[in-house]
């Protein structure tokens, strides 16, 4: 059984949540990218929108699956 729709939904959601954390890095400037702060990992959040397929492609997968239902 394939779960393309569900996995695409999870990928879009996770990448959007990660990008919200990345906004904090922009607010805090250089301090946000320092390895000595708690915010250090959020600077890499942008790659989550691209890594497993762009969010736009994932949304197309979701829409296609919904239309087939």
Q: Residues 6, 16, 49, 52: which is the catalytic one? A: 52
Query: How far is 49 from 12, CA to CA, in rounded Å?
Result: 7
Active site residue 16: no
Rounded to whole angstroms, the Cα distance separating 61 from 48 reads 17
Cβ atoms 21, 45 nearer than 8 A: yes
Active site residues: 52
């Amino acid at each position: 059984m394939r779960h393309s729709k569900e996995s695409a939904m999870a990928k879009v959601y996770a990448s959007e949540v990660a990008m919200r954390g990345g906004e904090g890095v922009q607010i805090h400037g250089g301090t946000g990218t320092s390895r000595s702060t708690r915010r250090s990992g959020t600077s890499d959040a942008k790659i989550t929108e691209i890594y497993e397929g762009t969010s736009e492609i994932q949304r197309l997968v979701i829409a296609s699956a919904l239309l087939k239902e």
